[in-house]
Amino acid sequence: MSDNRRKREKGAAFLELIASMPLIAILLVALGTAFVFGVRAYLFLMSDWALQEQVGYAMERIVTDLRYAEEAKMEGNRLLIHCREIGAPLKWVEYERTNEAVPRIRLGDQPLTGQSTLGKIAMEDFHVEVGTQTVFVRIAGKNLLTDQSYALETMVTLKGKTP
- Separation CA 131–CA 78 (nearest Å): 16
- For the stretch 45-66, pLDDT in tens is 998 998 899 999 999 999 988 8
Is the pLDDT score of 99 beyond 80? yes
pLDDT at 7 > cutoff 70: no
Where are the domains positioned within the chain? 5-157
What tens digit of pLDDT does each residue of 132-162 get?
788 999 999 999 888 899 999 999 988 765 4
Over range 63-90, report the average pLDDT: 85
What pLDDT score does 120 carry? Answer: 79
Q: What is the pLDDT of residues 17-44, one digit of tens each?
A: 888 899 999 999 999 999 999 999 999 9
pLDDT at 26: 94
Q: Residue 140: what pLDDT?
A: 92
